[in-house]
Structure 1
Amino acid sequence: MKKLILSTAALAFTASFAMAQDVVRMGTEGAYPPWNFLNDNGEVDGFERELGDELCKRAELNCEWVTNEWDSIIPNLVSGNYDVIIAGMSITDDRDEVIDFTQNYTPPDPSAYAAMSDGVDVENGVIAAQTGTIQAGYVADSGATLVEFASPEETLAAVRNGEADAVLADKSFLAPFVDEDPDLVFTGPDVPLGGGVGMGVRESDTELRETFDAAIQSMKDDGSLNEMITKWDVSSTF
């Protein structure tokens, strides 16, 4: 009960911020299901769409959605093309040197290797990963040969066409593809990376970060965030 009272008080100051900011632009990739993707109507959908809409509602913010390719998603936040990144982005020290993060809205999601057969040498083989991800950084430091691609779909295509021995990505992203494709299997150990997933904001937008922090905390306190995580099966719960 004490946490709920504190969260309510923390949200109270957001009204002045909402009045000062007409529209908060929410930047996402739109290509990383179930976190974020474009539905049949071309609209942003997925866990982070539902989460972002709820956070904006609690913070009394008028929000709109913008899509951006992953490899330029941080530079375009910094340059002002949108105000927030909500795109399955793990909190890391390197990223935190360029932008600020809210508290995490999911715990760290294990990364996993997927390949066309079990027993692939993930320590010394050719491993595909999406450019600019914590998985790409891990592979580059692991001794394996890294091949990078702009989109997550291209990493899977590289494994299927023999260009890579395996792909390393969030297990929640890979699981539906492994379940649906009998030729794809998980191989090797899971890899714990990052400090969970958070919203990215410009370093100068302290008030916006605090506004979303309060909204995230209110969802943690009332259990609705865990319910949403379970619904979309994106991570373990808090």
Structure 2
Amino acid sequence: MKNLLIGTAVLAMTAGAALAQDVVRLGTEGAYPPYNFLDDNGEVAGFERFLGDELCKRAELTCEWVTNDWDSIIPNLVSGNYDAIIAGMSITPEREEVVAFTQNYTPPSPSSYVGTSDGIDPTTAVIAAQTGTIRAAHVSTMEGATLVEFPSPDETVAAVMGGEADLTLADKDFLIPAVEESGGALVFVGDDIPLGGGIGMAFRQSDPELRDKFDAAVQSMKDDGTLNEMILEHLGANSPTF
């Protein structure tokens, strides 16, 4: 966190740089379906691809997509490798110390536990979570539980299937397909857990004009109902809407 804050301060002198560019670069993970993933052609796909393209259109900006591993996605934004993050990133006070978020483009959605049996007690379990997420932070505060972290959400599910962890804690929208495709090998465990303030786009704090353009575009999609339509189409009928 300290290094990220230093990097942000150094880049303060470049305020508005992204707006001066011909192309705005959108950074995403490409490994978090249904929000973002790579299709058979290696292109970014999923809910956030459709959303990002529409937001760029409404903001009258030309955009290109860049993929980056999750564990360095904020440092590489701050260092200028791309101009915005649109990668299933929950808005949290800790992240707001380093980056500037738009308003949320999904409401807070539940996180869920998944294991091979619904009788597992999360308070004493070994729980897999993706590094640098609000889920990992939550498990780290649970007295009696043991956190094991992995670079990608797919690896947390694989850890449960392989016996390395008792449970995984992840976004429910991500876990639903994994449970459905497991043939009964995976089940949801316990109650859903509300975490975070919804998902938003993240920008360098030195780029307020660019952030404001996308924030206005998000608001316009909320106002005309197209954001809710996109959420239901790509995230499913049970996903929270505005």
Mapped partners of 1:146, 1:52: distance in 2 = 33
Alignment of 1:115 with 2:115, yes or no, is yes
Letter in 1 for 2:150: F
The alpha carbon displacement at 1:189 in A equals: 1.1
Q: Contact conserved, 2:35 with 2:235, CA < 8 A, in 1? A: no
Secondary structure in 1 matching 2:91:
coil
Q: What does residue 194 of structure 2 align with?
A: 192
1-structure distance, mates of 2:108, 2:116: 26
Distance 1:152 1:18 in 2: 30
Total equivalences in the alignment: 223
C-alpha RMSD of matched pairs (Å): 1.4
The alignment partner of 1:204 has SS state of coil
The residue aligned with 1:208 is 210
1:163–1:222 distance in 2 versus 1, CA, 3 Å: same
Aligned-partner SS, 2:123: coil
2:153 is matched with 152
Which amino acid is 1:209 matched to? Answer: R
Runs of 4+ in 1 over 2 A off after TM superposition: 17-21
Contact 1:18–1:61 (CA under 8 A) maintained in structure 2: no
Contact 1:89 1:198 in 2 (8 A): yes
Q: Give the Cα–Cα distance (whole angstroms) in 2 for the partners of residues 224 and 57 of structure 1.
A: 14
Q: For 2:152 and 2:47, locate their aligned partners in 1 and report how far apart those are by CA, in whole Å.
A: 19
**Displacement of 1:21 after TM fit?**
2.8
1:50 aligned partner: 50
By how many angstroms is 1:19 displaced? Answer: 7.1
Which residue identity lines up with residue 73 of structure 1 in the other structure? I
Distance in 1 separating the partners of 2:18 and 2:147? 44
Secondary structure (helix, strand or coil) at the match of 1:114 reads strand
5+ residue gaps, structure 1: 1-16
Shift of 1:20: 3.1
Counting only pairs closer than 5 Å after superposition, residues 20-99 of structure 1 correspond to structure 2 as 20-99=20-99
- 8 Å Cα contact 1:18-1:62 kept in structure 2: no
Write the letter of the residue equivalent to 1:237: T
Distance 1:180 1:150 in 2: 22
The one-letter code matched in structure 2 to 1:169 is A
Name the SS of the counterpart of 1:40 in structure 2. coil
Distance 1:120 1:18 in 2: 48
The CA distance in 1 between the partners of 2:211 and 2:95, in whole Å, is: 15
Structure 2 unaligned regions, length at least 5: 1-16
Q: Does 2:240 match 1:236?
A: yes
Identity percentage of aligned residues:
71
